[in-house]
Amino acid sequence: GDSVTQMEGPVTLSEEAFLTINCTYTATGYPSLFWYVQYPGEGLQLLLKATKADDKGSNKGFEATYRKETTSFHLEKGSVQVSDSAVYFCALSVRSGGSNYKLTFGKGTLLTVNP
Amino acid sequence: DSGVTQTPKHLITATGQRVTLRCSPRSGDLSVYWYQQSLDQGLQFLIQYYNGEERAKGNILERFSAQQFPDLHSELNLSSLELGDSALYFCASSVAPDIYEQYFGPGTRLTVT
């Protein structure tokens, strides 16, 4: 079945440090890939997405490139801020039957950024 | 703010009881999804509705059921509650079932004691 594996946290960085959160996937068919972010006490928010190989999703300084050859979608940011502290989820979406799309999530990575 | 609302925010109940969680999708969205988030299982898809009809089922227990009403709000019913049902329950919505972008509500935290 479809699955997403992301690096286990927690990840603790100092402000302005470089961030990488690794994500790899297994999917039948051709998935779309996503990063969601969950700030403390809130629901998940879509951070960025990529729908085909070599696409780069970007938002708020975060980037991730859809790498079909390595089945990866690593999240990066050049300079993190305290406000980036949150849980980050990698996810994939594939057609699950008819016209439905099913989201499969990784377990999440807690990022804490210290001033 | 995603536009998806969920009530209540917190719920504490005892084993064996039954609870109902409510979700209102974003204005214009016809499809509603329910997810369970727990420490050991992560974020799991439970069930999807589109315009009042069930469209897909995930890892939903038989003790759980859901429905979507004509005004498009949805309710998730959890019965014969067990300690292991303690989790965050999220609702998400999308314009249609073939649209992969989903917008999540803030969640309902259920504690079973």
Kindly report the nearest CA distance between residue A3 and chain B, in angstroms: 12
Mark yes or no for CB contact A102/B58 under 8 Å.
yes
Mark yes or no for CB contact A99/B4 under 8 Å.
no
| Closest-CA residue of chain A to B6 | A43
Q: What is the pLDDT of residues B10-59, one digit of tens each?
A: 999 999 999 999 999 999 999 999 999 988 888 898 999 999 999 888 88
Give the pair of three-digit tokens for residue A34: 């996503």
Local confidence band at A100 (pLDDT 50, 70, 90 cut-offs): low
Interface of B with A in 4-23 (CB under 8 A): 4
| Closest-CA residue of chain A to B39 | A107
What b/e readout covers A72-104, taking b as 16+ CB neighbours within 10 angstroms?
Answer: bbbbebeebeeebbbbbbbbbbbbbeeebbbbb
Does residue B99 or residue A88 have the better pLDDT?
Answer: A88
Interface test with A, best of B21, B34, B41, B43 (most A CBs within 10 A): B43
* B100: nearest Cα among A39, A88, A29: A29
Q: What is the pLDDT of residues B68-109, one digit of tens each?
A: 999 999 999 999 999 999 999 999 999 876 666 789 999 999
How many CB pairs (< 8 A) connect A and B?
54
- At B83 the three-state DSSP class reads helix
Omega prior to A10 cis, within 30 of 0 = yes
Beta bridge mates, A81: none
Mean confidence (pLDDT) of chain B: 92
